[in-house]
Structure 1
Amino acid sequence: MQVRPSALRVHRDHGRLTISFDTGHMPEGPSLVILREDTAAFVGRKILHVGGNSKQAIARLHQQKVLALRSWGKHFLIECAQFSVRIHFLLFGSYRINEDKPNAVPRLSLEFSKGERLNFYACSVQFIERPLDEVYDWTADVMNPLWDAAQARRKLRAAPGMLAADALLDQTIFAGVGNIIKNEVLHRIRVHPESEVGALPARKLGELVTQAREYSFDFYTWKKAFVLKKHYQVHTKTSCPRDGTPLQYRKHLGKAGRRAFFCEVCQRLYRAEDT
């Protein structure tokens, strides 16, 4: 059995793949891509039993065939013929593949043939009645092949007063980017989180867009290799690896009010009045 620092465990029980994942924080886009990959074997299979304590009409899923398993940003999507189900893990959601979480009732449990199952805990479950291509803008998802960097730049230019930290967390611009990616990207491009988007030089704006995607794929690679936390430069850290000075910490920063770790020495603060 292998243990990931992110609390994702993978092992085989009598030849059956068993996976458990406890986030401990709001999962980011790369984690949803990994979930999509881990559950790919359920595509094309019929749901034989439905359980869970969701208040949604989850019995609708009984006898439905899973046509596709997709992700958009932080949403996991189960696509059926007439509708889809959206799973959002919120802050403390988790999932189990082919096993049950001890002393916990799943929000949604889907059982297939051979006793194989998907269990989702402490998450939001919602039905989507329209085709997913009508609901989601795939070009806004940093992990999607259809990602449109030029569109992201246009959206940023349309919101010059937005803080860089809030911009990265805006799911209409960077679907899938979460707080870890936000902190690490801003340090990587040497931009203070309270910088105003409109004050960023064109080169820095381009770096922000480029690295939002590139770091997300680095995150994905490191997470699959069980080494994500080893690559943190500032998130949850106390000193800057670039210049050795103590990092600044804010429990709540920007309109999003998320934790921020940053260096006031190497991360420049860009403001409109300075341009």
Structure 2
Amino acid sequence: MPEGDTVWRLAERLDEALAGAPLTRCDLRVPRLATVDLTGRSVLEVVPRGKHLLTRIEGSLTLHSHLRMDGAWKIYAPAERWRGGPAHQIRAILGTAGHTAVGYRLPVLDLLRTADEPRVVGHLGPDLLGPDWDPAEALRRLLADPGRPLGEALLDQRNLAGIGNVYKSEVCFLLGASPWLPVGRLPDPERAPALARKLLEANKRRPVRTTTPSGYRPRPFEGSGGARPDRRLWVYGRAGRPCPRCGTPVRTADQGPATEERITYWCPACQPAP
């Protein structure tokens, strides 16, 4: 599932492609929206809210979409061939004279009044990349259930909107805390939302996500040379490989409620068990 920085970047690209121009084509291929035609209305803006996309359209309407695991929006020039997938996977087409945005495999696609947006995103916690970021409220929500494991609390969009599985694992590592540590036992807990926001802000305009310091050099056991793709993250995706900080093999396990488990990466030496 895309992280908040990826969704933020996608919203910016969609906004640049569609905003300020009337729709010359509108095709919403889900049964409840099959008769909707927004042709002639202008796209006002495309904004992210956590991992949600809100395409605001003239007439006080919002097209709400969420990518979840497999969804994607692709943007094409007028004569460009569409390569996002087979035609039967297309769920939405929004076209202007200059660009066409095609939504593939979108599991969530709703049309609602803009005033009703809280109905679909009102449950979310403070948006880590939003203009209304509120660190005090984010901390309050994180600590509302002090016995909850830190990794689960960070991943819950009702606490912080925008953290995905990558940032969950990386934030826990940088805090030196086990993902299974009860969040109420985290020393200086205000560091968690602050660090999460810092990482997402640093990556929202990067084509390749990086959580290790700029100019990071590996320990001798990792070899020599400049930065490589496998050194851009501390623990995520490094199962069984040495921790960049101490050399201990990185471990993995599923974490979360039944049917909602997500894989978690951690260093058992740098992040001792609670």
TM-score under structure 2 length normalisation = 0.80
1:54 aligns with 2:58: no
Residue of structure 2 in register with 1:76 after alignment: 53
Provide the C-alpha distance between the structure 2 equivalents of 1:248 and 1:56, rounded to a whole number of angstroms.
Answer: 45
Are 1:167 and 2:167 an aligned pair? no
1:86 match: secondary structure:
strand
Match of 2:192 among 195, 208, 214: 208
Residue type at the aligned position of 2:104: Y
**Residue 15 of structure 1 aligns with which residue?**
none
2:44: which partner in 1?
67
| Partner amino acid, structure 2, of 1:51 | D
Q: Offset of 1:33 from its aligned partner?
A: 1.2
Amino acid paired to 2:244: P
After the TM superposition, which residues 170-185 of structure 1 pair with which residues of structure 2 at under 5 Å, given as runs?
170-185=156-171
Where structure 2 has 5 or more consecutive residues not aligned to the other structure, the ranges are 211-228
Partner of 1:231: 232
Name 2:112's counterpart in structure 1: 128
CA 1:30–1:132 in 2, change beyond 3 Å: closer, same or farther? farther
Q: Distance in 1 between matches of 2:167 and 2:6?
A: 12
Deviation at 1:213, TM superposition (A): 0.8
Does the Cα contact within 8 Å between 1:168 and 1:212 map onto a contact in 2?
Answer: no
Match of 2:256 in 1: 254
Q: What's 2:243 paired with?
A: 240
What residue in structure 1 maps to residue 221 of structure 2?
Answer: none
| Whole-angstrom distance in 2 between the partners of 1:78 and 1:199 | 40
Equivalent position amino acid for 2:233 in 1: Y
State the AA in 2 paired with 1:109: I
**Helix, strand or coil: the match of 1:242?**
coil
Residue 260 of structure 1 aligns to a residue whose secondary structure is: strand
Q: CA RMSD in A?
A: 2.0
Instruction: Report the alpha carbon displacement of residue 52 of structure 1 after superposing the two structures with TM.
Output: 4.7
CA 1:53–1:130 in structure 2 vs 1: closer, same or farther (change >3 Å)? closer
Contact 1:50 1:111 (8 Å CA) reproduced:
yes
Unaligned ranges ≥5, structure 1: 1-25, 271-275
Contact 1:194 1:254 in 2 (8 A): no
Displacement, 1:139?
A: 6.7
Please tell me whether the aligned partners of residues 125 and 160 of structure 2 are also in contact (alpha carbons under 8 angstroms): no
- Do 1:174 and 1:212's aligned partners in 2 also have CA atoms closer than 8 Å? no
- Number of the residue aligned with 1:96: 74
Contact 1:139 1:146 in 2 (8 A): no
Matching of residue 35 in structure 1 with residue 10 in structure 2: yes
Q: Cα gap change, 1:107/1:245 in structure 2, threshold over 3 Å: closer, same or farther? A: same
Please say if residues 56 and 125 of structure 1, whose CA atoms lie closer than 8 Å, have aligned partners that are also in contact. Answer: no
Distance apart, 1:140 and its partner CA = 0.7
Q: 2:202 aligns with which of 206, 218, 224?
A: 218
- Identify which range, 161-170 or 127-136, moves more after superposition: 127-136
2:21 maps to what in 1?
A: 45
CA contact (8 A) 1:139 1:148 kept: no
Any idea what SS the aligned residue of 1:266 has?
Answer: coil
Q: Percent identity?
A: 27
Of 52-61 and 37-46, more deviation after overlay is shown by 52-61
Taking the aligned partners of 1:253 and 1:87, their CA distance within structure 2 comes to: 27
